[in-house]
Amino acid sequence: MSDLKTAIGELVAANRIVAAEKVCDAFGHVSMRHPEDPKKFLLSRGRAPELIEASDIMQFHLDGTVFAGSGKPYLERFIHGAIYEMRPDVNAVVHSHSYSVVPFSVVGERLRPIMHVCATIGADIPVWDAQTRFGDTDLLVANMEQGRDLAKVLGARTSVLMRGHGSTVAGGSLREAVYASVMLEVNAQLQLKARAMGEVKFLTPGEVDLIRERQNKGRPGEGFDRAWQYWLRHAGFPTDE
Ligand code: MN
């Protein structure tokens, strides 16, 4: 099987996983960098992640123009292209509106890792506010200028919240990005619960670094891979190991 065909199969599975784990509903999207050309990325045509099949996957240049495939693309594909353009280390991006995360985009309190498995989301999670540079908009990332502004706020980090809208996570691999997107929602739920009980003791940046270092050294079947196999089954896919 070609690298491209394998990548498309993994991307379809990733879409089904984020749907099954309720990170994405009718909205939200998952992309990956093209395995054979780093100047392109793979992303479905505009449809709900739960419905996506291999034939829906299109290929885009980093500026969001279509290279291959047909159908109406997601308006917000510029989120993906702008992050790939700025971050050569990023190979997959998940954008979602997962509900527990959104409150942290509209209050002063920052979303921060609270539990060891959530360290992947990163110790520092900024909030991008479309209002800052673009004034009143419909809050969607509708062009490269807005995408690049978001990518700039993300910087070298893993996660960025988008005020009154949702969040975007970037990973070195598809499995890491999917993992981080699920754990961003989990962490938001836990933080909302913990703060209702009292003052929260968050993971320290040093703890986050050590946990991430161990995860990134995980052998096949550990860490992101183990979660991936579990989530494949949850999404009704056969496990692949
Ligand atoms: Mn969106």
Q: Give the tens place of pLDDT for each residue, 170-203.
A: 999 999 999 999 999 999 999 999 999 999 999 9
CA–centroid distance, residue 198 to ligand 1 (Å): 32
pLDDT score, position 183: 98
In 87-204, which residue ranges form alpha helices assigned H by DSSP?
Answer: 130-134, 144-154, 174-197
- Residues 121-125, mean pLDDT to the nearest whole number: 97
Whether residue 207 has pLDDT greater than 70? yes
- Residues 97-110, mean pLDDT to the nearest whole number: 97
CA–centroid distance, residue 77 to ligand 1 (Å): 10
CA–centroid distance, residue 48 to ligand 1 (Å): 12
Whether residue 109 has pLDDT greater than 90? yes
- Distance, CA of 236 to CA of 1 (rounded, Å): 22
Strands 66-68, 57-61: pairing is: antiparallel
CA–centroid distance, residue 78 to ligand 1 (Å): 11
pLDDT score, position 44: 98
Whether residue 241 has pLDDT greater than 70? no
Please give the helix or strand (H or E) that residue 12 lies within, else none: helix 3-20
pLDDT score, position 238: 87
What percent of the chain is predicted at pLDDT more than 90?
Answer: 93
- Kindly report the average pLDDT of the chain as a whole number: 96
Write out the catalytic residue numbers.
76
Whether residue 221 has pLDDT greater than 90? no
The answer to whether the pTM exceeds 0.95 is yes
- Residue 231: pLDDT band (50, 70, 90) is very high
∠ CA 97-100-106, rounded to 5°: 80
- Distance, CA of 41 to CA of 62 (rounded, Å): 7
Burial 129-152 (b: 16+ CB within 10 A, else e): bbeeeeeeeebebbebebbbbbbe
- Residues 47-64, mean pLDDT to the nearest whole number: 98
Whether residue 2 has pLDDT greater than 90? no
CA–centroid distance, residue 203 to ligand 1 (Å): 28
Look at residues 34, 151, 20 and name the one whose alpha carbon lies nearest to residue 92. 34
Residues recorded for the chain: 241
Give yes or no for a contact between 111 and 98, defined as CB atoms under 8 angstroms apart: no
pLDDT score, position 90: 98
For residue 238, report the phi and psi dihedrals to the nearest 5 degrees: -65, 145
Starting at the edge strand found earlier in the chain, the sheet holding 92-96 runs 66-68, 57-61, 40-44, 29-33, 92-96, 166-171, 159-162, 127-128
- Residues 106-131, mean pLDDT to the nearest whole number: 97
- Residue 106: pLDDT band (50, 70, 90) is very high
Give the three-state DSSP class for 45: strand
CA–centroid distance, residue 201 to ligand 1 (Å): 31
- Distance, CA of 231 to CA of 16 (rounded, Å): 9
Whether residue 219 has pLDDT greater than 80? no
**169 forms bridges with which residues in the sheet?**
94, 159
Whether residue 88 has pLDDT greater than 70? yes
Q: What is the CA radius of gyration of the chain?
A: 17
